[in-house]
Amino acid sequence: MVIDCIKVSDVILNCIPYIGYFLPDFSLSESINLTFASYFVLIANVCIKYIFQQIGSHFNFKLPLLGSFCRPMAPNCSLLTPPGSMGMPSGHTQTVVFVAAYLYYRYGGKSKITIAAAIAAIIVMYCRVESMKHSVQQVIVGFMFGVIFAKGYINYVILK
Protein backbone atom coordinates (compact mmCIF):
# COMPACT_ATOMS: atom_id res chain seq x y z
CA MET A 1 0.00 0.00 0.00
CA VAL A 2 1.38 3.38 -1.03
CA ILE A 3 0.70 6.32 1.25
CA ASP A 4 0.03 9.67 -0.42
CA CYS A 5 2.41 11.97 1.42
CA ILE A 6 0.71 15.13 0.18
CA LYS A 7 -2.62 14.03 1.67
CA VAL A 8 -1.00 12.92 4.93
CA SER A 9 0.74 16.28 5.44
CA ASP A 10 -2.46 18.17 4.52
CA VAL A 11 -4.55 16.15 6.99
CA ILE A 12 -2.05 16.76 9.79
CA LEU A 13 -1.90 20.49 8.95
CA ASN A 14 -5.69 20.77 8.96
CA CYS A 15 -6.15 18.83 12.23
CA ILE A 16 -3.31 19.89 14.51
CA PRO A 17 -4.49 23.48 15.20
CA TYR A 18 -7.61 21.98 16.80
CA ILE A 19 -5.77 19.58 19.11
CA GLY A 20 -6.45 21.71 22.19
CA TYR A 21 -10.18 21.02 21.96
CA PHE A 22 -9.51 17.34 22.63
CA LEU A 23 -7.12 17.72 25.55
CA PRO A 24 -8.90 17.55 28.92
CA ASP A 25 -6.77 20.17 30.69
CA PHE A 26 -7.01 22.80 27.93
CA SER A 27 -9.58 25.50 28.62
CA LEU A 28 -11.84 26.62 25.80
CA SER A 29 -10.10 30.00 25.61
CA GLU A 30 -6.66 28.35 25.44
CA SER A 31 -7.89 26.04 22.66
CA ILE A 32 -9.31 28.98 20.69
CA ASN A 33 -6.09 30.98 21.16
CA LEU A 34 -3.96 28.07 19.91
CA THR A 35 -6.19 27.65 16.85
CA PHE A 36 -6.07 31.35 15.96
CA ALA A 37 -2.32 31.48 16.60
CA SER A 38 -1.82 28.50 14.25
CA TYR A 39 -3.71 30.27 11.49
CA PHE A 40 -1.77 33.46 12.16
CA VAL A 41 1.41 31.44 11.57
CA LEU A 42 0.01 30.29 8.21
CA ILE A 43 -0.84 33.86 7.22
CA ALA A 44 2.60 35.03 8.35
CA ASN A 45 4.09 32.34 6.11
CA VAL A 46 2.63 34.04 3.02
CA CYS A 47 4.23 37.32 4.13
CA ILE A 48 7.57 35.59 4.74
CA LYS A 49 7.38 33.99 1.30
CA TYR A 50 6.78 37.41 -0.23
CA ILE A 51 9.87 38.79 1.54
CA PHE A 52 11.94 35.81 0.38
CA GLN A 53 10.59 36.36 -3.13
CA GLN A 54 11.77 39.99 -3.09
CA ILE A 55 15.18 39.02 -1.68
CA GLY A 56 15.46 36.11 -4.07
CA SER A 57 14.82 38.27 -7.11
CA HIS A 58 18.16 40.00 -6.47
CA PHE A 59 20.06 36.69 -6.19
CA ASN A 60 18.44 34.71 -9.03
CA PHE A 61 16.26 32.98 -6.38
CA LYS A 62 19.22 31.11 -4.85
CA LEU A 63 21.33 31.78 -1.79
CA PRO A 64 24.29 29.85 -0.39
CA LEU A 65 23.19 27.28 2.23
CA LEU A 66 19.48 28.07 1.66
CA GLY A 67 19.46 26.82 -1.92
CA SER A 68 16.60 27.65 -4.24
CA PHE A 69 13.57 29.65 -3.12
CA CYS A 70 11.43 27.95 -5.78
CA ARG A 71 9.52 24.71 -5.34
CA PRO A 72 11.43 21.65 -6.62
CA MET A 73 8.63 20.86 -9.11
CA ALA A 74 8.62 24.46 -10.45
CA PRO A 75 12.28 25.50 -10.53
CA ASN A 76 11.76 28.66 -12.63
CA CYS A 77 10.03 31.14 -10.35
CA SER A 78 10.16 34.89 -10.77
CA LEU A 79 8.80 38.08 -9.27
CA LEU A 80 5.54 37.30 -11.08
CA THR A 81 5.16 34.00 -9.21
CA PRO A 82 2.45 34.28 -6.51
CA PRO A 83 4.06 34.19 -3.02
CA GLY A 84 2.02 31.07 -2.14
CA SER A 85 3.73 29.27 -5.02
CA MET A 86 7.18 29.93 -3.61
CA GLY A 87 8.71 27.07 -1.67
CA MET A 88 10.71 29.05 0.89
CA PRO A 89 9.84 28.42 3.75
CA SER A 90 7.51 25.42 4.16
CA GLY A 91 4.23 26.65 5.67
CA HIS A 92 3.09 23.13 6.57
CA THR A 93 6.30 22.55 8.54
CA GLN A 94 6.17 26.01 10.12
CA THR A 95 2.63 25.54 11.45
CA VAL A 96 2.99 21.95 12.68
CA VAL A 97 6.30 22.74 14.40
CA PHE A 98 4.67 25.82 16.00
CA VAL A 99 1.97 23.65 17.59
CA ALA A 100 4.46 20.93 18.59
CA ALA A 101 6.76 23.50 20.22
CA TYR A 102 3.83 25.04 22.08
CA LEU A 103 2.77 21.61 23.36
CA TYR A 104 6.36 20.97 24.42
CA TYR A 105 6.24 24.19 26.45
CA ARG A 106 2.81 23.29 27.88
CA TYR A 107 3.45 19.63 28.79
CA GLY A 108 7.21 19.07 28.72
CA GLY A 109 9.16 16.68 26.56
CA LYS A 110 8.01 13.36 27.99
CA SER A 111 4.24 13.62 27.66
CA LYS A 112 2.48 11.44 25.10
CA ILE A 113 0.83 14.41 23.39
CA THR A 114 4.16 16.19 22.92
CA ILE A 115 5.76 13.05 21.50
CA ALA A 116 2.79 12.55 19.16
CA ALA A 117 3.02 16.17 17.96
CA ALA A 118 6.77 15.80 17.38
CA ILE A 119 6.17 12.62 15.36
CA ALA A 120 3.46 14.43 13.36
CA ALA A 121 5.93 17.25 12.66
CA ILE A 122 8.57 14.77 11.48
CA ILE A 123 6.03 13.05 9.21
CA VAL A 124 5.01 16.40 7.70
CA MET A 125 8.63 17.42 7.13
CA TYR A 126 9.42 14.09 5.48
CA CYS A 127 6.27 14.20 3.32
CA ARG A 128 6.94 17.73 2.08
CA VAL A 129 10.39 16.68 0.83
CA GLU A 130 9.28 13.25 -0.40
CA SER A 131 6.42 14.71 -2.46
CA MET A 132 8.83 17.26 -3.99
CA LYS A 133 6.82 20.21 -2.63
CA HIS A 134 9.89 21.52 -0.80
CA SER A 135 13.63 21.02 -0.65
CA VAL A 136 15.32 19.99 2.60
CA GLN A 137 16.55 23.57 3.09
CA GLN A 138 13.02 24.97 2.71
CA VAL A 139 11.73 22.54 5.33
CA ILE A 140 14.58 23.44 7.71
CA VAL A 141 13.81 27.17 7.34
CA GLY A 142 10.09 26.40 7.96
CA PHE A 143 11.13 24.47 11.10
CA MET A 144 13.18 27.43 12.34
CA PHE A 145 10.33 29.90 11.76
CA GLY A 146 7.91 27.55 13.54
CA VAL A 147 10.16 27.46 16.61
CA ILE A 148 10.68 31.25 16.49
CA PHE A 149 6.93 31.90 16.28
CA ALA A 150 6.25 29.45 19.13
CA LYS A 151 8.88 31.11 21.32
CA GLY A 152 7.41 34.54 20.54
CA TYR A 153 3.86 33.33 21.19
CA ILE A 154 4.85 31.83 24.51
CA ASN A 155 6.92 34.85 25.63
CA TYR A 156 4.66 37.65 24.43
CA VAL A 157 1.16 36.18 24.60
CA ILE A 158 1.16 33.43 27.22
CA LEU A 159 3.69 34.78 29.73
CA LYS A 160 3.01 38.52 29.42
Greater model confidence, 117 or 66: 117
C-alpha–C-alpha distance, residues 2 and 138, integer Å: 25
pLDDT in tens, 117-146: 888 889 888 888 888 778 788 888 889 888
In 3D, which of 29, 75, 43 has the Cα closest to residue 56?
A: 75
CA nearest 127: which of 4, 37, 1, 2? 4
Q: Are 82 and 89 in contact (CB under 8 A)?
A: no
Number of domains in the chain: 1
33-52: pLDDT as tens digits: 888 888 788 778 777 777 77
How many C-beta atoms surround the C-beta of residue 132 within 10 A? Answer: 14
Residues with Cβ within 8 Å of 41's Cβ and at least 6 positions away in sequence, in order, are 94, 95, 98, 146, 149
Instruction: Judge whether 134 and 94 are in contact, CB under 8 Å.
Output: no
State residue 1's pLDDT score: 43
Residue 41: domain span: 5-158
User: pLDDT tens-digit profile of 12-33?
Assistant: 877 877 887 887 777 888 888 8
